[in-house]
Amino acid sequence: MRAQTRHQLKQDAFSRVTIGAAEKTAHWSVEHRNTLAVAVIAVAAIVAAGVGGWYYLNGQDEKASFEMSQAVRTLEAPIRPAGTPAQPDEPSYTSAKERAEVAGKQFKAIEDRYPHTRTADMARYFLGVTSATAGDNTTAEADFKAAVATGNKELASVAKLALAALYGNTNRTKDAISLYQELINKPTASVSKVTAQLQLAEVYRTSNQPLDAKRLYEQIKKDNPSTEAGELATRKLAELK
């Protein structure tokens, strides 16, 4: 019984770490793209990975997961107002960029020390998040591509979603559209078809392709009645008129 309890505690701890990290991903998405927040998607990616056996596969993963929790705490640390001194008992940062740079070093250390663990795969993805937040788009692109290449379908889908958003933010519209289309054609538990459709419609809207945006929003509204996605599409259609 005690062994089972310890196992459950480990699972609960790992869930808290990964869900917290997923929430931070959502914050990054909201800051960098004025579209539907992806908190639920990111959490689904972690849950799906967990169901597939992402719970402490070995001692190395357990150590890596502990360090992941430290990196997540860094990402969750508050940004203090200008002129406010730091408190010794409560880590804080002067900007989101500074916080991302510190967290990025921690995620990089996880990747370097535990290269063959599932947690390292997650760290590669969050390296992309921190790189993008710090304004290093070239490194962020490489980090997201590395996460795609891990072989984990759910993590790869979320990484593609973030990569597409990065392309949209850096005027690589064709690349963004291509990735969103790929996600629409091959949805996963972590990135649903409608999520990719909403993101793609926003790309069309912001890149002066209103007819394509309207067509996609109408399709979303038709396919998703009485849902938040359908309501969002309705609002977006009203804005296009």
Environment class of residue 174 by beta-carbon count within 10 Å: exposed (0-12), middle (13-18) or buried (19+)? exposed
CATH 3.30.420.40 fits 173-241, yes or no: no
Cβ–Cβ under 8 Å, residues 124 and 139: no
Q: Where are the alpha helices (DSSP H) in 33-152?
A: 39-51, 59-76, 96-113, 118-133, 137-148
Predicted TM-score (pTM) of the model is 0.74
Q: Which residues make up the CATH 1.25.40.10 domain(s) of the chain?
A: 173-241
Write out the chain's pLDDT in tens, 241 residues.
344 433 443 333 433 444 344 434 433 343 443 332 333 334 334 434 443 444 445 566 677 778 887 887 887 788 888 888 888 888 888 888 898 899 999 999 999 998 888 788 888 888 988 898 888 999 999 999 998 998 788 888 888 988 998 898 889 999 999 999 999 999 987 788 988 998 899 899 989 999 999 999 999 999 999 888 888 889 889 988 7
The DSSP result for 2-19, as a single string, is HHHHHHHHHHHHHHHHHH
